[in-house]
Amino acid sequence: MSSPTSGPLTIVAVHGVGHYDHRATAAQVRAAHIPRWTDHLTGGLGVAAARLDLDFAYYAPMLNSGRTVQGQHEPDELSDPVTRELMAAWLEQLGAPRPVTQGALTLPLRHAATWVAERFSLDGRMTQLFIRLFFQEVAAYLRTDDSPARLAARDEVALRIARHRPRVVIAHSLGTVVAYEALHAHPELQVELFLSLGSPLALPRAVFDRLLPRPVGDPPARLGARPDAVARWVNIADPGDPVAIPPRLARSFTGISLDLTDSVHAAFGFHHAKNYLSCAATAATLGPYLGL
């Protein structure tokens, strides 16, 4: 464990899906989210905002090039084959019956959203909106190994880490995938703690098998690894979060120090970053870095 910091704890936050704002500049988005993430973290920790020095890596524009209002088109279906393929793999991992899994490739989005909402006791309309948004952005990032969107998003995260030189990188949802690849690509970006929240990194076929660098070994024993840039990796997942599937990353990655679960679930706010940031497991992980 690292020693407590004498000044503010330096952090770079890496967001998940749904943060694209076509009306604002990147600087404006960062300025809006820095105090929000700080408030969520300090609320859970029980410390003043001055104890944290947080920067915000905003990569969403790289995944939404040419889209003015996210999700405005295709209100009830996903026409992109890669997006549908990723959703089908996710539904299979969730244990959806075969008609639902197959329907993800052919039927309207509400077909899958209804099953997920019932399975996890979620609001149906919110679930449908979230699924569309999530898999559109995940597909935009993972479509090909060397797509401009993937490289640009990864470089943006690496740039914020290089500029801010944080002790801690906190990533949520799709942000854990972008941060994982950025830290692997830049071993010179030494951070003491990588804290992944609500991560889909281990999701077979949809995410895990598309990661760079590729997991090594033969299935089913293939393993990813903690980036060399990271001294300590802690993962936190809500067992009721349908995105953090499977929740135990240590079964799929070497070098994870702690693989924790915490209940942050809310029917109208499932998978939200604020719930993870303010939870007890996050506070317990960050507390020692603040001398708590």
Q: pLDDT, tens digit, for every residue of 90-138?
A: 999 999 998 899 888 888 888 889 999 888 888 888 888 889 999 999 9
Tokens of 210: 């598309």
Strand (E) or helix (H) holding 20: none
pLDDT of amino acid 75? 46
Average pLDDT score over the chain: 91
- Residue with the two structure tokens 């990723």: 86
What end-to-end distance do the CA atoms of the chain give, in Å? 13
pLDDT of amino acid 231? 98
Taken in order 200, 248, 158, 13, the sign of the CA dihedral is positive
Phi, psi of 49, rounded to the nearest 5 degrees: -60, -30
The residues, ordered by sequence, that sit 6+ positions from 152 with a Cβ below 8 Å of its Cβ are: 59, 62
Q: Are 143 and 150 in contact (CB under 8 A)?
A: yes
The pTM of this model reads: 0.93
pLDDT of amino acid 192? 98
Is it the case that residue 206 has pLDDT exceeding 50? yes
Distances in whole angstroms, Cα of residue 29 to Cα of each of 15, 57, 159, 208 = 11, 10, 16, 29
- The helix/strand/coil state of 126 is helix
- The helix/strand/coil state of 156 is helix
pLDDT of amino acid 271? 81
Q: Are 34 and 55 in contact (CB under 8 A)?
A: yes
Give the 3-state secondary structure percentages of the chain, helix then strand then coil, rounded to 5.
45, 15, 40
Phi, psi of 39, rounded to the nearest 5 degrees: -65, -45
